[in-house]
Structure 1
Amino acid sequence: MHVKPSPAAVSTPPGPPLTEPGEVLPVTHYENFPVASWLCPAHLRAPIAALYHFARTADDLADEGSVSPEQRLADLRAYRSHLHRALAGDGSGLPDSVPAAWRGVLQALARQHAVWQWPLSLLDDLLDAFEQDVVWTQAQRHYPDRPTLLDYCRRSANPVGRLVLHLHGVQDAPALQQSDDICTALQLINFWQDLRQDIPRGRHYLTDADCLQHGVSRAELQALQSAPATQALIQAQLDWAEALMRRGAPLVHRLPGRAGWELRLVVQGGLQVIRRLRPPQADPLQRRLKLRRSDYARMLWHSLWM
């Protein structure tokens, strides 16, 4: 049973504005990859933007602001409850107690779900992962090994790719596996890009097994110390992410027209972040990397030859 807090207890960050049925919610967060860009087929921009804002809102509930872990979990459970209610209809039946920051997001998602009929289990998987982040951060839990971290990625990232493939009617097993590889790689890249922010906040995605293999202690990581051992550890993580990305990359040839080109840029965006993060030219323990204008030119060039 999901615990639903009272309206006064719900803590919500500023959200996107309410929308009319045909309107696409704008993307206002910095991302390394295109989201519902001009390359996206026009009829798919609204559903993809609706999915993006659903996930972004839940992500913000899990880690933005200064509310307690208990409140974050209560908010996520309430968000899930309202999600289920919204998707049971067209979103118009949401109670007045639903925070305004959620209402537009859930109504937009419900309108698109009425057309596309996404599997609800995939949306629930995303919320499961956000709740796990809150619980594990509060308990200062570490991922013991890569299979455990991959199970988190299965719920935190892979549903997004599967939901998008659903829009294209691509559901065969090889394509789904390639999508999972790309999405897991993007999630891992985000982890390694955000080490300087995540470690002080108690979010530990470098596994115990990898740290032990490279002789890196948790104390060294907590101090954000850069040394040959930590650089080797980070290199190994980047190699892992790159291998997954390249294994999934053939999926770009399964999507037609502009959608395939947008996926090419997503793949190349991830690969470009990996290139830029590699020691010694970068140290994610010291600063967070952001892509530059020249990086986007390189991404476009490599996309032409996939």
Structure 2
Amino acid sequence: MPLDPSPNPAPVPPKPAAPLPVTHYENFPVASWLCPPALRAPIAAIYAFARTADDIADEGDAAPSQRLEDLDGFETELRAVASGVAPGARWPEVFAPLAATIKSHALPLPLLTDLLSAFRQDVERTQSAEPYADRAELLDYCRRSANPVGRLLLHLYGVNDPQALAQSDAICTALQLINFWQDLSVDLPRQRWYVPQTDATALGLRAEDLLAQPRTPASDRLVAELAGWARRCMDEGAPLVHRLPGRAGWELRLVVQGGLRVLDKIDALHGACLSQRPRIRAWDAPLLLVRAMAM
């Protein structure tokens, strides 16, 4: 006769939630097959954290006060799982994988909270339509909105020397700037003003001039100067591709070349990106690969 099962069987631990898939359009590869296999899940967990927080700040029709409240809750959840508390019920698909990655790779918490600081700033500036006064102010935003991602990846790769960190910051800042100039036709109508006032004023342009989206020699020159700034940042950081081993280095080569290709498309439009958005297309892939191999 078979034995009766135990009246109090040991609970089966729940299966950890898988990181969110990459569902947004991205210019650059995210946790692709080029990444070291052991790091794909941690990279996907970091991406899911950043992508979800960015969506809270930017997507849908929530009021600014609700967005800020949700970002506060998101940070509370981050600090809780970083201290060992189990993920809550609201964002388990984000914080279960992230908690595992924080524990297994000792992710620096300030880099994650810097991202949330930048997303809050996006909400507040969009609400007030407040422009960035100059390039220094915009670079401070990039320091928190973009550079932490590169530093988190270098942390996973075990690379932490000052030169590598500086080069990573330059690449990430360049990618953020490229995204700004790529998205002018989308951001300007939404009162998201990333063009530094000093750059616009130097060419006799005002916010309302660009909102009207007429192409003029001055606006063409403005876009060209901003794209040139982003290209110089990317060139400054590009030598980092030779510091990362194996697949990680090839992944970064494609990231750099993807950014430069978007800049090529911005340059080709001669300022028309005030009304249309250049994108990386499937047919750009062979060129990106050739350029990556030539680095």
Common topology (TM > 0.5): yes
Secondary structure of 2:75's partner? Answer: helix
Asked if the contact 2:114–2:145 (Cα under 8 Å) also holds between the matched residues in 1, the reply is yes
1:286 equivalenced with 2:286 (yes/no): no
Find the counterpart in structure 1 of residue 87 from structure 2.
Answer: 94
Q: CA deviation at 1:292?
A: 1.6
1:80 aligned to which of 75, 78, 84:
75
State the alpha-carbon separation in 2 of the partners of residues 174 and 120 from structure 1.
Answer: 22
State the alpha-carbon separation in 2 of the partners of residues 135 and 292 from structure 1.
Answer: 33
State the alpha-carbon separation in 2 of the partners of residues 282 and 235 from structure 1.
Answer: 7
Find the counterpart in structure 2 of residue 204 from structure 1.
Answer: 193
When the two structures are superposed, what TM-score results if normalisation uses the length of structure 2? 0.93
Q: CA deviation at 1:282?
A: 6.3
State the alpha-carbon separation in 2 of the partners of residues 61 and 155 from structure 1.
Answer: 17
Asked if the contact 1:24–1:45 (Cα under 8 Å) also holds between the matched residues in 2, the reply is no
Asked if the contact 2:181–2:226 (Cα under 8 Å) also holds between the matched residues in 1, the reply is yes
Find the counterpart in structure 1 of residue 38 from structure 2.
Answer: 43
Q: Deviations over 1:44-70 (max 9, x none)?
A: 000000000100000000010001000
Asked if the contact 1:48–1:164 (Cα under 8 Å) also holds between the matched residues in 2, the reply is yes
Find the counterpart in structure 1 of residue 125 from structure 2.
Answer: 136
1:221 equivalenced with 2:210 (yes/no): yes
Q: CA deviation at 1:293?
A: 2.1
Q: CA deviation at 1:249?
A: 0.3
Asked if the contact 1:192–1:234 (Cα under 8 Å) also holds between the matched residues in 2, the reply is yes
2:159 aligned to which of 170, 175, 196:
170
For residues 235-250 of structure 1, the aligned pairs below 5 Å read: 235-250=224-239
State the alpha-carbon separation in 1 of the partners of residues 269 and 45 from structure 2.
Answer: 39
Find the counterpart in structure 1 of residue 58 from structure 2.
Answer: 63
Asked if the contact 2:219–2:271 (Cα under 8 Å) also holds between the matched residues in 1, the reply is no
Find the counterpart in structure 1 of residue 223 from structure 2.
Answer: 234
Cα root mean square deviation, aligned:
1.4
Secondary structure of 1:224's partner? Answer: coil
Secondary structure of 2:76's partner? Answer: helix
Structure of greater Rg: 2
Give unpaired runs (5+ residues) of structure 1.
Answer: 1-18
Asked if the contact 1:235–1:279 (Cα under 8 Å) also holds between the matched residues in 2, the reply is no
Q: CA deviation at 1:216?
A: 1.5
Secondary structure of 1:124's partner? Answer: helix
2:25 aligned to which of 22, 30, 37:
30
Q: Which amino acid aligns with 2:56?
A: L
Find the counterpart in structure 2 of residue 54 from structure 1.
Answer: 49
Question: Which shows bigger deviation, 282-291 or 188-197?
Answer: 282-291
Q: CA deviation at 1:237?
A: 0.5
Question: Which shows bigger deviation, 23-32 or 154-163?
Answer: 23-32
Asked if the contact 1:231–1:279 (Cα under 8 Å) also holds between the matched residues in 2, the reply is no
State the alpha-carbon separation in 2 of the partners of residues 26 and 77 from structure 1.
Answer: 24
Q: Which amino acid aligns with 1:158?
A: N
State the alpha-carbon separation in 2 of the partners of residues 265 and 20 from structure 1.
Answer: 34
Secondary structure of 2:272's partner? Answer: coil
1:151 aligned to which of 117, 125, 140:
140
Asked if the contact 1:276–1:282 (Cα under 8 Å) also holds between the matched residues in 2, the reply is no
State the alpha-carbon separation in 1 of the partners of residues 15 and 278 from structure 2.
Answer: 36
State the alpha-carbon separation in 1 of the partners of residues 221 and 208 from structure 2.
Answer: 17
Question: Which shows bigger deviation, 209-218 or 182-191?
Answer: 209-218
Asked if the contact 2:27–2:258 (Cα under 8 Å) also holds between the matched residues in 1, the reply is yes
Secondary structure of 1:270's partner? Answer: helix
State the alpha-carbon separation in 1 of the partners of residues 208 and 237 from structure 2.
Answer: 35
